[in-house]
Amino acid sequence: MTATHNTNLIDEDEIIEIAYDLFLEGAMDNLEPADQLIFALQFEECGAAEIVPITNHWQMILTNELELKTLSEVVIGLAKTAEDELDDIFARILISRDPKKPFHHILWKN
């Protein structure tokens, strides 16, 4: 009899919270002061942190050791209105949803 390995992945809501916490921890060191101010003033009204399909931004980071099916990309940014898509991205966070293989990497707004 073979044992099946069933990994419980972190759910999407929790992964967004974790990514947002990582963003807040690094924002002061990685965003320009003007961007920090804009984000602080506008996030509550028209900001969001959301999971998006994994983009090509990660090609240099992804290795065979990382399984795409256990990763999520979270973007954090602002939209023109609450109904619009995010158009001012402050950070892209690639994060593992596998609690046994923690990993994250953040691409900050230039």
Structural domains in the chain, sorted by start: 12-108 (3.10.450.140)
Distances (CA, A) of 21 to 16, 54, 65, 104: 9, 20, 25, 12
pTM of structure? 0.87
Q: Where are the beta strands (DSSP E) in the chain?
A: 47-52, 71-78, 88-96, 104-108
Per-residue pLDDT tens digits for 22-73? 999 999 999 999 999 999 999 999 999 999 999 888 877 777 667 888 999 9
Check whether 5 has a pLDDT greater than 70: no
* Spatial distance between the Cα atoms of 16 and 58, rounded to a whole number of angstroms: 18
